[in-house]
Amino acid sequence: MLIVKKFGGSSVANAERINHVARTITDSYKEGNQVVVVLSAQGDTTDELIEKAMEINPDASKREMDMLLATGEQQSVALMAMAIEKLGYPVISLNAFQCHIYSTSNYSNARIKEISTERINNELAKKNIVIITGFQGVNRHLDITTLGRGGSDTSAVALAAKLGADLCEIYTDVDGVYTCDPRLVKNAVKLEEITYDEMLELASLGAKVLHNRSVELAKKYNVNLVVRSSMTDAEGTVVKEESKLEKMLVNGVAVDKDVARIAVVGIKDEPGSAFKIFSLLGKEKISVDLIIQSIGRELSKDISFTVSKGDMEKAVEILNKNADRIGFKEISYNDDVAKVSVVGAGMATNPGVAAAMFEATFDAGINVKMISTSEIKISILVSAKDADAAAAAIHDKFITRAMQHRN
């Protein structure tokens, strides 16, 4: 079998972990498999590199940030190759440049466009274990790019798709995908399997166990994907097209803490003001998530929306610069918020779901600031300090009870 195995930051955090993972890799190789490994930077290396950069220049260009951040993964692959050398197996580490992982030029959030697998296949033919840097790509100028935080999952799935791997295993610090982050909600339940669509929804709403683009790619190329623990042998969660389990109304609860809220207050109540605001932000590639507009009164209205924390200051600056064009009284903003979402099929058609969600937050004494619903999810915005409690209350209301009913 050709297997792609990806190990996240905590799985390679120190020498002991690296040696442990090296044995997991060589055990699989010994069984006769061709093994391609994708690694993240060790532990908190990426965060530490960002801190270092901020000390020197908080406005550093994205190009130089990518040049810096990509070094974290390069350390991991070399160290892992050394650990495998020590165990006496043939191994080679490669970075994105060496294995031709071509991406768009969108520094800090690039997308993989093409991978030419010749080098990797050559190394596999030479019986090497191939260790590849996650998270990074090169653009058409051969400059280094990165794929967005958590992007090593996407590197692994893209490589698995392109190499036609039989299996792509994402090894991490939990033993599978749960109904909610098991670190936040103690009675979260591990799922035996989950469909690509459900996983995509959870990942997009903040469940960082898989990078959302990795799930998109897995679905597109039908990659055989498993999430499992790098520390234990426990069976992981299979992510696949169709789930054999009975469809549950609710699959999971996701928490996204990378959220900021901006309120534009006192906008003239006339056609086109929302268009002006969101087209200005769109031009700067700032994506907007939840949006609410108050009912116009006395010829003025308010529009509030959420962006990612990193985009908040820029968004406020753009709106202030264009204050005359848009026409508003003031802007307020706050990044002390979080989004909690409940995900599952049939949300919109099931009238009890929204009520149950608000009953859960009401019972927990949590104030809901914004709401958005769709076919498959309901999201609410709450104070950051309330996020974990809201997730637990909502999880308890939906999942714990649904599980009890099934048993």
- State the residues that interact with ligand ADP by CB under 6 A: 8-11, 40, 150, 172-174, 177-178, 180-183, 202, 207-209, 252
Closer residue to ligand ADP in complex, CB, 123/198: 198
Q: Residue 6's closest CA among 167, 120, 243? A: 167
Q: How far is the CB of 357 from ligand ADP (least distance, A)?
A: 18
Q: How far is the CB of 276 from ligand ADP (least distance, A)?
A: 37
Closer residue to ligand ADP in complex, CB, 89/206: 206
Q: How far is the CB of 354 from Mg ion (least distance, A)?
A: 31
Closer residue to ligand ADP in complex, CB, 143/197: 197
Each residue of 70-96: b (16+ CB within 10 Å) or e? bbbbbebbebbbebbeeeebebbbbbb
Give kind and range of the element (H or E) at residue 74.
helix 62-86
Q: Which does 177 bind (CB under 5 to 8 A by kind): ligand ADP, Mg ion, ligand ASP, none?
A: ligand ADP
Q: Which does 72 bind (CB under 5 to 8 A by kind): Mg ion, ligand ADP, ligand ASP, none?
A: ligand ASP
3-state secondary structure of 317: helix
Closer residue to Mg ion in complex, CB, 150/236: 150
d(CA 171, CA 52): 28
Each residue of 238-273: b (16+ CB within 10 Å) or e? bbbeebeeeebebbbbbbbebbbbbbbeebeeeeeb
Q: What binding mask, one character per residue, do residues 111-150 give for Mg ion by CB under 5 A, x or -?
A: ---------------------------------------x
Quick one: which segment of 4-12, 89-97, 297-305, 377-385 binds Mg ion (CB under 5 A)? 4-12
- Contact predicate 104/113, CB 8 Å: yes
Residue number with the shortest CB distance to ligand ADP?
8
Q: Are strands 167-172 and 225-229 parallel, antiparallel or unpaired?
A: parallel
Residue 372, classified by CB atoms within 10 Å of its CB into exposed (0-12), middle (13-18) or buried (19+), is middle
Closer residue to ligand ADP in complex, CB, 256/302: 256
* Residues of span 145-184 touching Mg ion by CB under 5 A: 150
Q: Which does 62 bind (CB under 5 to 8 A by kind): ligand ASP, Mg ion, ligand ADP, none?
A: none
**Which residue's entry shows tokens 């098991």?**
182
Closer residue to Mg ion in complex, CB, 93/172: 172
Closer residue to ligand ASP in complex, CB, 152/179: 152
Determine the residue type at 201: E
Residues that bind ligand ASP (CB under 6 A): 8-9, 40-41, 46, 72, 134-135, 149-152
Q: How far is the CB of 169 from ligand ASP (least distance, A)?
A: 15
What are φ and ψ of residue 78, in 5° steps?
-65, -45
Q: How far is the CB of 261 from ligand ASP (least distance, A)?
A: 24
Q: How far is the CB of 153 from Mg ion (least distance, A)?
A: 6
3-state secondary structure of 251: coil
What are φ and ψ of residue 406, in 5° steps?
-75, -30
72 part of the interface to Mg ion, by CB under 5 A: no
Write the DSSP assignment of 322-360 as a string of letters.
THHHH--SEEEEEEEEEEEEEE-TTTTT-THHHHHHHHH
Closer residue to ligand ASP in complex, CB, 7/89: 7
Residue 319 is given by DSSP the state H
Q: How far is the CB of 45 from ligand ASP (least distance, A)?
A: 7
User: What are the structure tokens assigned to 369, written together?
Assistant: 């600031």
Closer residue to ligand ADP in complex, CB, 203/303: 203
Q: Which does 209 bind (CB under 5 to 8 A by kind): Mg ion, ligand ADP, ligand ASP, none?
A: ligand ADP
Q: How far is CA 157 from CA 104, 121, 180, 219, 245, in A?
A: 17, 16, 23, 10, 24
d(CA 281, CA 369): 22
3-state secondary structure of 205: coil
Query: Interface with Mg ion by CB under 5 A: which residues?
Result: 8, 150
